Chains A and B, each alone.
Chain A
Amino acid sequence: MSQKIVRALTRSPLHIAIIAICLVWMLPSVGMLISSFRPAVDVASTGWWSVFQTPFKFTQFTLANYAEVITDQGMGHAFVNSLYITIPATVIPILIAAFAAYAFAWMKFRGRNILFIVVVGLLVVPLQMTLIPILRIYNRLGLSGSFLGIWLAHTGYGLPFAIYLFRNYFGGLPRDLFESAFIDGASRLKVFFKIVLPLSVPAIASIAIFQFLWVWNDLLVALIYLGGTADVAPMTLQVSNLAGYLGQDWHLLTAAAFVSMALPLAVFFALQRFFVRGILAGSVKG
């Protein structure tokens, strides 16, 4: 018994350190969430932690902030825009990358290795290198401020990583499968749809989550190619605008920020397994 106590005591610094870090990681978000449900007057006059003095007084909470940011402050419209940007900008690169990765992994052709090395090199090219020339072309073609323009741009920026991850995954599929398909006389396209894709669901899920979160959370690409057009602005853009002109209206800013986080958080919780797997495949091996 006393041994147990000694053990617990010697280990207590460990627990204290871990719990302290967890608190630092959690409290800012907790503060945001609580403030988003408090009336404007309260948020402006007292700290959010003061709700704990009367934790069961439910009248101190309100949904008014959410109602206002979703309608008057345009977050509802921005939510639809974010969806409209993110879904195609996730599906298109996955399709294109999967086809290319299939060829890189299982077909032999001249230039294959050098082309793939170029893809690996492109993985780290900063997007800043591409903004000005593409914006100029977009302006000439009338693509700036359009959804099509931003779908294509996200496709371009997402491709290297998607091709890289897919190619590693496809390359690891057992060779026998391809051999027996060949003996059965299956075409390349048939093998792709009947063997490669069904076996690669985990890889597809990983990349889908990555690309989804990356596009949904992106600010820079939207800022550059969508300009200031409020009609097409996604939530990140809208929140950063609000942060600029609402200044100290924390009851609204916190509600707007939470609206912009709700969907990625849900996706993240539902599919965390695939997300972690993607990170490991892309970094430890990569």
Chain B
Amino acid sequence: MEVWLSKRSFSHWLYVVPALVILAFFLVYPAVHTIILSLGDKTGEGFAGFSNYRFVFTNRTMQSALRNNLLWVVVFTAGTVGLGLAMAVLLDRVKYERIAKAIIFLPMAVSFVGSGVIWKFVYSFRPATVAQTGLLNGIVVALGGQPIGWLIERPWINNFALIFVGVWIWTGFCMVVLSATYKGIPKSLLESARLDGATEWQVFWRITFPLMRSTIAVAATMMLITVLKIFDIVYVMTNGNYGTEVIANRMYKEMFQFKNFGRASAIAVVLLLAIIPVMIFNLKKFREQEAIR
């Protein structure tokens, strides 16, 4: 058997080489080239040290993009994981679990572009003198308020409005992952704690949460990777206007509008650097798993 696995032939290379060539061409080589470009001048030519990085961290628009992205990271990750966890635990107690889960999970199937259009409509805003056609302003006006420019009011309302669209899309993902783990917890464990007089709140924080910690960490890292690269939602809904720019959006503009390939590359490298801790976390986990295998 072992002989067969490691046959004298070299045919294993025939199986892996196509994949390796494509990975090298589409991921490894360009990543290295992007790092080199980022060290050139603003168009990526020559060598200009860290001038592009200085731009990334000192330019005002860039700083606002970095700040917004940080807001996205905190609110989006907390929102998707928190709400996903709440739904995983709460839906387990109701009879209509399946249908509720399907409703919350559904946005996962739809493109960010489609979701962007759906929500742009929900947020749409018209002068107070005419009837509102956007759902949210319809509600606000029905309750006697003044219509709000949800995508215009900076910096909090519009950024939160955009982040909520992300939460709407990704909560279902977290819910599914967390629900699978929650259902794996022996119910007798929770029952006996309840019999001993623990409140639901205590049961959750003392038993459920610690047992789910590693899955929560996995879900949170996946959300982190997603949110750092967030692009489509902002591109479709505001195109970064009214102070809603995020990093990936900035990069696209530097690249296509201004042809500043050096600056765009530096922005990409900053994204990569932000993701490297996640990469190390993944590799460590992978190693642990392999040790068990």
* Mutual binders A and B: yes
Which A residues contact B (CB, under 8 angstroms)? Answer: 11, 14-15, 17-18, 21-22, 24-29, 31-32, 35, 43-49, 96-97, 99-100, 102-104, 106-109, 115, 117-134, 152-153, 155-157, 159-160, 163, 171, 178-179, 182, 188-189, 213, 216-220, 223, 236, 239-240, 243-244, 248, 250, 253-254, 256-257, 260-261, 264-265, 267-268, 272, 276, 279-280, 283-286
Distance of A216 Cα from B112 Cα, bound (Å): 11
B118 within 8 A of partner (CB): yes
B79 within 8 A of partner (CB): no
Distance of A112 Cα from B202 Cα, bound (Å): 47
| Residue numbers in A under 8 Å from B13 (CB-CB) | 109
From B30, B111, B248, give the contact of A260 (CB < 8 A).
Answer: B111
15 interchain pairs, CB-CB under 8 A: A11-B93, A18-B90, A32-B117, A46-B131, A47-B131, A47-B135, A96-B22, A107-B5, A122-B28, A132-B34, A156-B22, A182-B1, A188-B11, A219-B231, A250-B121
Tell me if A17 and B90 are in contact (CB < 8 A).
yes
Tell me if A264 and B27 are in contact (CB < 8 A).
no
Tell me if B112 and A219 are in contact (CB < 8 A).
yes
Tell me if A18 and B1 are in contact (CB < 8 A).
no
Residue of B at shortest CB range from A268? B109
Which B residues contact A (CB, under 8 angstroms)? Answer: 1-2, 4-7, 11-13, 15-16, 18-20, 22-23, 25-31, 33-34, 37, 44, 83, 87, 90-91, 93-94, 100, 102-104, 106-114, 116-122, 124, 130-135, 138, 168, 173, 176-177, 180-181, 215, 218-219, 222, 225, 228-229, 231-232, 235-236, 239, 248, 251-252, 255, 261, 264-265, 267-269, 271-272, 275, 278-279, 282-283, 285-286, 289, 293
Given A117-B283, A125-B272, A134-B26, 5 additional A-B pairs, CB 8 A = A97-B19, A121-B279, A126-B275, A152-B26, A261-B114
| Residue numbers in A under 8 Å from B20 (CB-CB) | 100, 115
| Residue numbers in B under 8 Å from A157 (CB-CB) | 26-27
Minimum Cβ distance to chain A for residue B124 (Å): 7
Distance of A29 Cα from B118 Cα, bound (Å): 6
| Residue numbers in A under 8 Å from B7 (CB-CB) | 107, 188
Dominant secondary structure at the A interface:
helix
Tell me if A163 and B19 are in contact (CB < 8 A).
yes
| Residue numbers in B under 8 Å from A44 (CB-CB) | 133
Supposing A25-B107, A128-B229, A128-B271 touch, asked if A248 and B124 sit within 8 A by C-beta, the answer is yes
Tell me if A156 and B26 are in contact (CB < 8 A).
yes
Supposing A46-B131, A132-B37 touch, asked if A32 and B118 sit within 8 A by C-beta, the answer is yes
